[in-house]
A and B are shown apart, each in its own frame.
Chain A
Amino acid sequence: MEDDEGAEEQERFSHRQRLKAAVHYTVGCLCEDVASDKEVQFSKQTIAAISELTFRQCEHFAKDLEMFARHAKRSTINTEDVKLLARRSNSLLKYITEKNEELTQFNIEQRAKKKKKLEDDKTKSLAPAEAAASGRDSSAPSPGAEAAFGEGRQEQADSPERRMKLSAFILSF
């Protein structure tokens, strides 16, 4: 029993060490960028101190975020909680709010792109599906394929505009 507890403790400790090392690496990269930009040098102890600082600050951030979410009766932390976390300095809050807006804009654009890609894919997939469906009418297709072709056939039947799109696509060749 005690061995198990010891092993678990060891596991947790080494997990913590791995995370600390990962933070240290990222901090080192960021400090290197700043150093080359400002043409100064950071001592190793300074980088180690900053990474220890960041690691400890994460604990405060995490606890605060959890409290904010719980206060709002949620179990998932969202961007409003993060904005509340950044309230102490005005410029920081402004920056974070701007980043949030950029993110939402980015998400909207991504969704629009995905939708367009999905529509393009559907148009492309309908062309071979039509040819194969006419060939397989006599033989018995496998259930999976039938589902796919069935869906294709249904979509064709449903929207005349899709048929127009399809013919336009074929004509383009």
Chain B
Amino acid sequence: MEATGGGFRKELVSKLLQMHFKDSKTKVSGDALRLMAELLTIFVVEAAIRSVRQAQAEDLALVDVDQLEKVLPQLLLDF
């Protein structure tokens, strides 16, 4: 059920979310967990691809933090 080769594993996503719940009774359903893993994968891939596009626009072969910084505001607004 994973679109890309890599991707977030369900156990990892579960632990990441559980860490920040205020109420210990809060749980995540299996389907929601899979969707969250997908969402996080998209988040990472979007960040990566937008940085690459920025680097290509600046005619660079190495994607550095500067390019990431430039795409960060729009990325965070979209998520």
Using a CB-CB cutoff of 8 Å, which residues 105-122 of chain A contact chain B?
A: 106-107
CB distance from A38 to the nearest CB of B (A): 5
Of the residues B15, B64, B78, contact of A46 by C-beta under 8 Å:
B64
Q: Is the CB of A61 within 8 A of B17?
A: yes
Q: Is the CB of A30 within 8 A of B6?
A: yes
Q: Is the interface of A mostly helix, strand, loop or mixed?
A: helix
The answer for the CA separation of A23 and B41 in the assembled complex, in Å, is 11
Q: Is the CB of B39 within 8 A of A86?
A: yes
Of the residues B1, B6, B63, contact of A106 by C-beta under 8 Å:
B1
The answer for the CA separation of A32 and B19 in the assembled complex, in Å, is 28
Of the residues A22, A42, A43, contact of B48 by C-beta under 8 Å:
A42
Neighbouring B residues of A78 by C-beta, 8 Å:
29, 31-32
The answer for the CA separation of A81 and B52 in the assembled complex, in Å, is 31
Contact mask A94-110 → B, CB, 8 Å, 1/0?
Answer: 01100110111011000
Neighbouring A residues of B29 by C-beta, 8 Å:
76-79
Neighbouring A residues of B5 by C-beta, 8 Å:
29, 33
Q: Is the CB of A103 within 8 A of B68?
A: no
Q: Is the CB of B44 within 8 A of A63?
A: no
CB distance from A29 to the nearest CB of B (A): 4
Using a CB-CB cutoff of 8 Å, which residues 1-31 of chain B contact chain A?
A: 1, 4-9, 12, 15-23, 25-29, 31
The answer for the CA separation of A57 and B43 in the assembled complex, in Å, is 9
Q: Is the CB of A77 within 8 A of B32?
A: yes
Neighbouring A residues of B39 by C-beta, 8 Å:
61, 82, 85-86, 96
Neighbouring B residues of A99 by C-beta, 8 Å:
35, 38
Neighbouring A residues of B31 by C-beta, 8 Å:
78-79, 100, 103-104, 107
> Is A172 an interface residue, CB under 8 A from the partner?
no
Binds B, one of A3-11, A48-56, A154-162, A163-171: A48-56
The answer for the CA separation of A106 and B31 in the assembled complex, in Å, is 11
Given A69-B26, A78-B31, the answer on whether A49 and B65 have CB atoms closer than 8 Å is yes
Chain A interface (Cβ < 8 Å from any Cβ of B): 16, 19, 22-23, 26-27, 29-35, 38, 40-43, 45-46, 49-50, 53-55, 57-59, 61-63, 65-66, 69-70, 75-79, 81-83, 85-86, 88-89, 92, 95-96, 99-100, 102-104, 106-107
